[in-house]
Chain A
Amino acid sequence: MTAFVEYLLTGVSRGLVFALLAMGFVLIYRVTRVVNFAQGAFAIFGGFITYSLLKAGVPHGLSELLAVAASALIGLVFGIIAIGGEIPLLASLVITIGLSILSEAIVMLIWGTTPISYSGLAGHDFVIFGAFIQRQYLIVIIASLVVFIALVYGFGRTYFGKAMSACASNPYAARLSGINVKKMGLIAFTLGGALGGLAGVLITPLSPITYSADISLAITGFAAAIVGGLISPGLAVVGGLVFGIAEQFVAGYWSPSNETAVALALLIVLLLWQARRVPVGGLE
């Protein structure tokens, strides 16, 4: 029971981090139809920037906030590069792959190749059903839930959020209604950057990251986003949780070396399931 609770809570919090990444994919895809493969890069920037700020003596809380803000700014810059001009969709997608590779190079140049980590917010670990749980897991769960609620409210209830959804729903009609679709796309990239950055800020205390951690984070985030067909934020959260929990149970009850293989196998199954549910090319 103790181990089960530990795996479950760890899985849930890691899953929510994946969900944050997945939400970034969904948000950017919904508004711009671009799959942003640089989504994982935002996370490593978030993690590394927090690490440097903490080392420079900036207090906890502020460091994390600044890192998320910096990631948002990086998101905006990536957005301008990827969709700023009159660029075909496929070219934008390839640009994001290039930006992801470029990010790795930049992080490696600035911070080197050694994995980094930092301690989460100070405080006691706590015990649930006899399982020792790091406080950081609780922080992850609370922070992501707050973000999800804010996003659901922001998109579903506010006029601005509806205008953003309109861009996703029908870009042509959105332009006719006077909505600046390009600006909305850049806002989506900025928010995507913030979400990715937050994911990195939250996960680094739990598992050290390196300059190349963006790939595995992006793949897992993408897999979670695929569960919702890249458009449903709710299903993306479910997807993130499935991956996070599955990963922890595989690592705990079987072997940590199998966790990536199982995640990828799950991704393939989900892709097949999606393909059956949503016919390719929209044929009925």
Chain B
Amino acid sequence: MKSVESVQPSQGRSVDSDTVLATFDLVVRYGAVVALDGVSIHVRKGEMVALIGPNGAGKSTLLNTLSGINRPASGRIVRKGKLAHVPEGRQVFPDLTVEDNLCLGAYRGGSRNPAPMYELFPQLEKLRYRRAGGLSGGEQQMVAICRALMANPDVIAVDELSQGLAPLVVSDIARHLVELNKQHGTAVLLVEQNAQLALNITSRAYVIENGHIGLEGRSSDLLRNPAVRAAYLGGVR
């Protein structure tokens, strides 16, 4: 599956053959407010990429634009393959059962059989007939991730994996994501305020500030970058 959304004529930049998702000079406005100001990122096949940055920097706006919820004012999105989006705050269907939540992930196509998800997160199998709204935050995050995976995506974008979850739960779910990436080659775009977590499990990262990419590079380099350490890793701001 290949889809190219062009808002402006292509700026002549080509896309690598192994890129599954890319944006070029993406601009998104909410009325007079510029939420994204010329953002260019790319995710390659099977890659784990982090997008870190403070609250309000435009992280969720970028994901919502990639998913077609927001319309860009200008710029270009290239999507080769299926993108599934795990939204901020998990956003399960609270009144539906866990199993129905999962099955609806395959609405756009794909198998409606949730069994592979129960293999990935065995905890969910025992909860399959429970209302998703009654689950703990960690369990809801698992449901949200599995619902996205049911679409059999080439890239899964996870918005604020760690938000409101206990550290042990976060590391458990993060481990599953890494495992998934290794075994199935699903690319992961991890959007996080928790830079330590994000940079530790990804290979490449972008730092987004005030709607534009401030820094980008290998995650291990960014972990050592003094500016990143000061701003995001518990250093003095």
Contact = CB atoms under 8 A, between A and B. Distances in A.
Interface in B131-178: 147, 151
Contacts of B22: none
B103 A159 contact: yes
A90 to B, nearest CB: 20
Interface residues of A, number: 16
Tell me what chain A mostly uses at the interface: helix, strand, loop, or mixed. helix
Contacts of B91: 170, 172-173, 176
Q: Give the interface size bracket for B toward A.
A: 10 to 19
A141 B140 CA distance: 42
Interface centre among B67, B93, B95, B105 (most CB of A within 10 A): B93
B107 interface: yes
B108 interface: yes
B107 A169 contact: no
Nearest to A167: B93
A168 interface: yes
Given A169-B95, A173-B91, A177-B108, A162 B100 contact: yes
A176 B112 contact: no
Contacts of B100: 162, 166
A179 B69 contact: no
B72 interface: no
A198 to B, nearest CB: 26
A166 B93 contact: yes
A170 to B, nearest CB: 5
Interface string B95-135: 11000100111011000100000000000000000000000
Given A163-B104, A163-B107, A175 B69 contact: yes
A163 B104 CA distance: 7
B94 A170 contact: yes
A178 interface: yes
A165 interface: yes
Interface of A: 159, 162-163, 165-166, 168-170, 172-179
Given A169-B95, A170-B93, 9 more contacts: A159-B103, A162-B96, A162-B104, A163-B107, A166-B104, A168-B95, A169-B96, A178-B108, A178-B151
26 contacts: A162-B96, A162-B103, A162-B104, A163-B107, A165-B93, A165-B95, A166-B93, A166-B96, A166-B104, A169-B93, A169-B94, A169-B95, A169-B96, A170-B92, A170-B93, A173-B91, A173-B92, A174-B93, A175-B69, A176-B67, A176-B87, A176-B91, A177-B147, A177-B151, A178-B107, A179-B107
